[in-house]
């Protein structure tokens, strides 16, 4: 467990990808946590603020990339069992340049990993590449909303987030942290951004769970391959 920056900064950000951009939850963690804003941004330019940077930015997108399976993804699937499909496999970096050609992306991935990409993973390549371009931003960490919700509850949620019971359960968990939270906008992306902000707050406080346990592997560029919650 570790903190992202010194304690004088008072906000954290949770970021979830959405078609055409990003949903960003800004939470004031000076005292009791309070939601400052839940907004849509077309780019990641918000990570370069004019004023003081946030304590931590937790984003639901892979950062460290490997040619094969990542230990953090394996650990996250184990934590979310039996709902292991909620963790998408991260693509190898060689596939990032083929976001406009599924077959080319599959060939590139298969050449280094022995496996092609799923359509779901391929659809995320543009977003993953955008994050890869900002991966060395201070305080930026990878997270996973469903891992966060599982920790809030004590075990993985059975209810799917796109169902009314699933949304209500996730809202109930978030309101334990943000008691004044109303009805968030942006559907389940809004809920996920808030869950990411919860993980960011724990990272800023130095009490986050880091997956995998023990020494965190680094990718070929020296970036940690970890999921923070």
Q: What is the mean pLDDT of residues 184-209?
A: 97
Here the CATH number for the domain that contains residue 157 is: 3.30.420.10
Check residue 114 and give its pLDDT. Answer: 95
Check residue 1 and give its pLDDT. Answer: 39
Within a domain: 46:
yes
Q: What is the mean pLDDT of residues 214-228?
A: 96
- Answer whether residue 34 shows pLDDT above 70: yes
Residue 207's domain comprises: 11-64+134-211
Within a domain: 202:
yes
Check residue 2 and give its pLDDT. Answer: 44
pLDDT classification of 6: cutoffs 50, 70, 90? very low
pLDDT classification of 108: cutoffs 50, 70, 90? very high
Percent of the chain residues topping a pLDDT of 90: 90
Is residue 36 exposed (0-12), middle (13-18) or buried (19+ Cβ within 10 Å)?
Answer: middle
Domain count, the chain: 1
How far CA 188 is from CA of 11, 52, 104, 161, 168, in Å, comes to 22, 29, 31, 7, 11
Within a domain: 140:
yes
The pTM (predicted TM-score) of the whole model is 0.93
150-182, pLDDT tens digit by residue?
A: 999 999 999 999 999 999 999 999 999 999 999
Within a domain: 196:
yes
Within a domain: 2:
no
Q: How far apart, in whole angstroms, are the C-alpha atoms of residue 159 and residue 126?
A: 29
Within a domain: 49:
yes
68-90, pLDDT tens digit by residue?
A: 999 999 999 999 999 999 999 99
Task: Name which of 33, 27, 10, 1 is nearest 141 in CA terms.
Answer: 1
């Amino acid at each position: 467990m570790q903190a992202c920056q010194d304690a004088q900064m008072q906000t954290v950000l949770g970021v979830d990808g959405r078609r055409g951009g990003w949903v960003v939850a800004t939470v004031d963690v000076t005292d009791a946590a309070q939601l400052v804003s839940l907004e849509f941004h077309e780019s990641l330019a918000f990570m370069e603020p004019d004023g003081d940077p946030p304590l931590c930015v937790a984003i639901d997108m892979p950062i460290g990339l490997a040619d094969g399976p990542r230990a953090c993804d394996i650990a996250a699937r184990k934590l979310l069992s039996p709902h292991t499909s909620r963790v998408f496999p991260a693509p190898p970096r060689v596939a990032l340049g083929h976001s406009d050609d599924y077959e080319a992306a599959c060939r590139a991935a298969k050449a280094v990993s022995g496996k092609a990409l799923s359509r779901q993973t391929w659809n995320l390549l543009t977003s993953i590449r955008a994050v890869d371009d900002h991966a060395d931003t201070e305080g930026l960490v990878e997270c996973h909303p469903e891992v966060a919700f599982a920790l809030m509850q004590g075990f993985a949620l059975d209810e799917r987030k796109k169902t009314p019971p699933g949304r209500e359960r996730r809202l109930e968990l978030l309101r334990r942290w943000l008691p004044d939270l109303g009805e968030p906008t942006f559907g389940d992306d809004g809920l996920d951004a808030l869950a990411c902000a919860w993980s960011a707050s724990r990272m800023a406080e130095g009490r986050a769970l880091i997956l995998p346990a023990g020494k965190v592997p680094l990718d070929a560029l020296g970036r940690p391959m970890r999921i923070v919650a």
